[in-house]
Chains A and B, each alone.
Chain A
Amino acid sequence: MRSFERVTGIVAPLDRLNVDTDQIIPKQFLKSIKRTGFGDNLFDAWRFADEGAIGKTPNERRLNPDFVLNQSRYQDARILLARRNFGCGSSREHAVWSLLEFGFRCVIAPSFADIFLSNCFKNGLLPIVLEEEVIDELFEMVNACTGFEVNVDLPAQAILLPAGERFEFAIDPFKKRTLIEGLDDIDLTLDYREEIAAFESRHRQRMPWIFIN
């Protein structure tokens, strides 16, 4: 998994409640054999004014100029500022894959849906939960200032603002370690590689018939 330590970048404000995974990546774009290729269809129904199809690139489509991510000031945004219950709905991991592929490394919101949250940690997208009032304040700052950048510092558990202000955030210590070290779920299990191998050889002795094929 991609590790996450510090990210500096433009913040894009998505001022909507309960953004669900079907809005993040609509189901007609899930028909793929890859984990990649979903960034082009992130927020598809909002970003584009026409209907998409698998394999059609954004260059061949009509953009919806009103959608926030299409505004020039938010090009190259790396941090998404969102509202309550972000990522609700179906469990599709594609939602996280599409955000990452589009270029986001961090989502800041007052709350996230459960499965989306756990999918974030499995893929190296940092979800930050802040108080509703702090989120309001951030929305104001982002809207007021073109090119508003912040620095997200995971080891320090803080968001550093241009004016020197900082917002601290909480995170489970185990998950923090996972992100900083870039360990994904598989790596975490492979830490126990020797235990698994030892178990396997005992298992093979006890139940050899399982291993004949």
Chain B
Amino acid sequence: MSAQTLYDKIWDAHAVGTRADGQTMLYIDLQLLHEVTSPQAFAGLALHGRGLWRVAANLATPDHNVPTENRELGLAGIEDAVAKQQVVTLDDNCRRYGITQFDILDPRQGIVHVVGPEQGATQPGMTIVCGDSHTSTHGAFAALAQGIGTSDVEHVMATQCLVQSKAENMRVAVDGALTEGVYAKDLILAIIGAIGTAGATGHTIEYMGSGVLELSMEARMTLCNMSIEAGARAGLVAVDDTTLEYLHGRPRAPQGELWDLAHDYWLTLHSDDDAEFASGFQIDAATLIPQVTWGTSPELVVGIDSATPNPDDAPDPAQGQSLQLALDYMGLAADQPMVEIGLDRIFIGSCTNARIEDLRAAANVVRGRKVAKRIKQALVVPGSGLVKAQAEAEGLADVFLEAGFEWRAAGCSMCLAMNPDRLQPEERCASTSNRNFEGRQGHGGRTHLVSPVMAAAAAIQGRFVDVRSLL
């Protein structure tokens, strides 16, 4: 057989066959469900009298709409009637079909993309889908993980297959190691800044090279999480010892003989040496500095030592005009240094950056300091109940609380502002999430994407600052 990429290998291992319309039926090993995109799929199943093909292949938890305060009240703590109905519907559907759910009161509840890996449900070589675009996160485990729409959620429930055509292979090579104060978030923002939000359209990215091998599993998840912001269908990292160590002993990971069997197979999950990629990009991690987005698309990003662009310098008028629109929405001037931008709110959370390592790194910056007076609100929203408990056990929660942060229960929260946590018009937020589109964090809100330590530093100073000066 000719040399294969990691993507080729996982694809081939799951291709059931070709449908009459020429598309491939790809067998799906795991489907993650949450309250917003699953109800219509369940309703569709019921309408047609269909069942789930393989109930055990599904795992659910509510995350998008759950409030992050008054969690102990459970359902009664949800004030928005529609949100409540969605969470109740997920409960009902999971009960009816026998799907495992970590419900609103379960300590394991959290953002689906944090919960899957934490439980060991996400495993190398799997195909994973979820009705959420940041499913790409799970690619850190060499799993082919894709976000899908509601019709496809129903399709996978009923057939265990996703019908699609294969994407192209793209290699992103990361050389060198990140330096102190610079994180995977800075790396992925720099990659998107370089290749653009359509840079990987039609491709599955494999991140490789010495810079990726150095990363922890949590950092690899941050990297893969934002593959979607680069336009990719999925992101992947090959299996190595770091992957295996992370997985070993997790509740849903195989044990004993099955572990040995899986382990041997997992070690084959990397691209062959001479595998061919349709396109590629190379970046040196060692020279990177902390990144900050200034505009309304993740590709509008600069190093903390830089300034906003000047639309007059754009190569063509159309581009200049779109830069100007972004500056206008963000309430920024041309050539404005990033370190002069003051903030109103801070959000540390989301499936990009709400795992324990993120909270540890941010707490390190915050320890013994206070949130600046001008900051109206600084939120820490752990990615899952277990992350929250761990952070409390390590004393991180106290560090945040003493500094003046709010310490919340797990959920998507201000990442997309479907729950009560949101920006008011024209409020400016340093956020560890993944999207800075107009209105993403609340109508008229202005979002700057940064790493957890950069968000923590911004909270302390009240404006953006190079976190390395605080370390």
Which A residues contact B (CB, under 8 angstroms)? 31-36, 54, 91, 93, 122, 174, 184-186, 188-192, 195-196, 199-200, 203, 206-213
B residues 49-73 touching A (CB-CB < 8 Å): 50, 53-54, 56
Contact with A along B111-140 (1 / 0, CB 8 A): 000000000010101100000000000000
Which of these, A174, A185, A196, contacts B27 with CB under 8 Å? A196
Q: What are 25 A-B interface contacts by the 8 Å CB criterion? A: A32-B40, A32-B82, A33-B86, A34-B39, A34-B40, A93-B149, A186-B48, A186-B155, A186-B158, A188-B20, A189-B158, A191-B19, A192-B19, A195-B17, A195-B25, A196-B160, A199-B16, A199-B27, A200-B160, A207-B262, A207-B265, A208-B258, A209-B261, A212-B258, A213-B252
B25 touches A192 (CB 8 A): yes
**B286 close to A (CB within 8 Å):** no
A189 touches B161 (CB 8 A): yes
Closest CB in chain A relative to B39 CB, distance in Å: 4
Contacts of B39 in A (CB 8 A): 33-34
Assembly CA distance A139 to B167 (angstroms): 43
Q: Which residue of A lies closest to B86 (CB)?
A: A33
**B364 close to A (CB within 8 Å):** no
**B390 close to A (CB within 8 Å):** no
Assembly CA distance A213 to B39 (angstroms): 23
Which of these, B16, B43, B158, B258, contacts A190 with CB under 8 Å? B158
Contacts of A184 in B (CB 8 A): 48
**B150 close to A (CB within 8 Å):** yes
Q: Which residue of A lies closest to B29 (CB)?
A: A210
Q: Which residue of A lies closest to B258 (CB)?
A: A209
Residue among A33, A36, A211 facing the most chain B CB atoms (10 A cut-off) = A33
Contacts of A35 in B (CB 8 A): 40, 43-44, 47
Q: Which residue of B lies closest to A211 (CB)?
A: B56
Which of these, B21, B25, B50, contacts A196 with CB under 8 Å? B25
Given contacts A34-B39, A35-B43, A213-B56, whether A192 and B126 have CB atoms under 8 Å apart is no
Closest CB in chain B relative to A195 CB, distance in Å: 5
Contacts of B209 in A (CB 8 A): none
**B320 close to A (CB within 8 Å):** no
Contacts of A206 in B (CB 8 A): 13
